[in-house]
């Protein structure tokens, strides 16, 4: 069975779906690997490193995309889907609810598409979870961006000129990205506060060095699998009061909130920004999902009311080497888990395949995506 790894064609993307160390493991499992020439170079993996690992290189993107199993980082474009073989398998981060046209095209092409961001968050599936791997990088880099942009130190310093107090950082959302942002800001010496609509994460927030601030919810906001759901109107009003008070006191606000791990709720209003200290910084890590801050300009940095607002897109791509290594390991773990007799075996009775399968045999299998497509068509 042949695995194909094409170049990523999304603007600004520097990651690659398979690095040489993972390619070796798949060759040992019995696969043939075909990588498009130059695919790994932006991430720090030259063609020679693939050749040394026994991986075949090809300059023909169509030949690579025509493989039995295609590994990608980003959702495939229509031209890429057209080059895929009917009955082939796609594996990557499809983000299906954000990329409905790609889902339609994959189904029409009769490609079996697995989206790693839809993998259930279970102990068995942890090694395959690209969403967590990439969120970890985003949280780390987001804290560094905030520290670089803020016009003051993060840590408390005792100097000959006197004491410098620590910066106050407020992190909204305590899933993987939020927890990593907290941990990184703490390592840099900031005084960190954090909140989440899921009160059960209070322990996790405190375990990485932040002080938890939250409200008593009238209705549970956990959607399961480490995700949050929409709040009731009453709870949302009380949450916004809390956010306004914390933002006004903070030097840095880092937002990471996503509903169901997909779309970003608007949490930081223009009025909240106006109330913040001059020189304060907001890093909107939910920009890929639409942004948590009302004044964010997605993919750009703006200054409003004296507050600098960063809304970076695709932060993992700014650390392409380690992002590629982790992404590649996730995909490899997925493939290895379902390999038998030197081939990938479809098994939709398995909870991981069942959760991650978006399209198969011309149909959309993923319920939330199917509902979204039906709604989009009406």
| Range(s) of the domain holding residue 190 | 135-318
The Cα–Cα gap between 161 and 139 comes to: 33
pLDDT band at 220 (very low <50, low <70, confident <90, very high): low
pLDDT tens for 11-53 read 999 999 999 999 999 999 999 999 999 999 999 999 999 999 9
Same domain (yes/no): 88, 119: yes
CB 153 within 8 A of CB 167: yes
Same domain, 26 and 49: yes
- Domain identity same for 224 and 251: yes
Q: Is the predicted pLDDT of residue 299 greater than 70, yes or no?
A: yes
The answer to whether 354 touches 46, Cβ cutoff 8 Å, is: no
Q: What percent of the chain has pLDDT over 70?
A: 96
Distances (CA, A) of 342 to 1, 30, 111, 311: 7, 5, 20, 44
* CATH number of the domain to which 79 belongs: 3.40.50.720
Q: How far apart are CA 72 and CA 250, in angstroms?
A: 39
6 and 92 co-located in one domain:
yes
Query: The tokens 């989009």 sit on which residue?
Result: 376
The pLDDT value given to residue 215: 77
Q: Is residue 378 part of a domain?
A: no
Joined together, the tokens standing for residue 117 give: 């961001």
Query: Which residues are catalytically annotated?
Result: 121, 126, 129, 132, 227
Question: ∠ at Cα 37 (62, 34), nearest 5°?
Answer: 60
Give the residue from 273, 300, 318 where a domain finishes. Answer: 318
- Residues 186, 218: one domain? yes
Together in a domain, 201 and 253:
yes
Q: Could you report the per-residue pLDDT of 234-270, keeping only the tens digit for each?
A: 788 888 999 999 999 999 999 999 988 789 999 999 9
Q: Is residue 99 part of a domain?
A: yes
Q: What was the pLDDT predicted at 376?
A: 82
Same domain (yes/no): 328, 311: no
Same domain, 27 and 142: no
Q: In angstroms, how far is CA 302 from the centroid of its own chain?
A: 23
- Of 286, 303, 318, which closes a domain? 318
pLDDT tops 70 at residue 223 = no
Write down the mean pLDDT value for the chain.
Answer: 94
């Amino acid at each position: 069975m042949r695995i194909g790894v094409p170049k990523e064609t999304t603007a600004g993307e520097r990651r690659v779906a398979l690095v040489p160390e993972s390619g070796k493991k798949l060759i040992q499992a019995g696969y043939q690997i075909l990588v498009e020439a130059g695919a790994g170079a932006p991430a720090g993996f030259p063609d020679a490193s693939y050749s040394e690992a026994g991986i075949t290189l090809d300059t023909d993107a169509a030949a690579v995309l025509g493989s039995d199993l295609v590994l990608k980082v980003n959702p495939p474009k229509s031209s890429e889907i057209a080059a895929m073989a009917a009955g082939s398998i796609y594996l990557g981060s499809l983000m299906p609810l954000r990329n409905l046209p790609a889902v339609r095209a994959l189904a029409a092409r009769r490609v079996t598409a697995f989206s790693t961001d839809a993998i259930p968050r279970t102990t068995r599936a942890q090694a395959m979870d690209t969403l967590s791997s990439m969120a970890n990088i985003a949280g780390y880099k987001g804290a560094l961006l905030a520290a670089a942009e803020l016009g003051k130190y993060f840590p408390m310093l005792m100097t000959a000129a006197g004491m410098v107090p620590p910066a106050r950082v407020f992190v909204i959302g305590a899933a993987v990205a939020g927890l990593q942002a907290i941990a990184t800001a703490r390592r840099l010496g900031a005084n960190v506060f954090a909140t989440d609509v899921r009160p059960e994460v209070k322990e996790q927030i405190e375990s990485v060095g932040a002080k938890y601030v939250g409200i008593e919810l009238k209705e549970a906001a956990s959607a399961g699998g480490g995700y949050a759901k929409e709040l009731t109107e009453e709870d949302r009003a009380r949450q916004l009061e809390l956010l306004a008070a914390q933002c006004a006191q903070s030097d840095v606000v880092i937002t990471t909130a996503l509903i169901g791990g997909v779309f970003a709720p608007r949490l930081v209003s223009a009025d909240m920004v106006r109330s913040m200290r001059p020189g304060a910084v907001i890093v909107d890590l939910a920009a890929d999902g639409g942004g948590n801050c009302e004044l964010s300009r997605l993919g750009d940095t703006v200054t409003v009311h004296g507050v600098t607002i960063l809304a970076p897109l695709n932060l993992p791509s700014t650390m392409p080497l380690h992002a590629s290594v982790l992404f590649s390991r996730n995909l490899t773990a997925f493939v290895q888990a379902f390999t038998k007799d030197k081939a990938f075996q479809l098994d939709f009775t398995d909870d991981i395949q069942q959760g991650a399968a978006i399209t198969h045999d011309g149909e959309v299998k993923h319920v939330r995506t199917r509902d979204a497509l039906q709604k989009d068509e009406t």
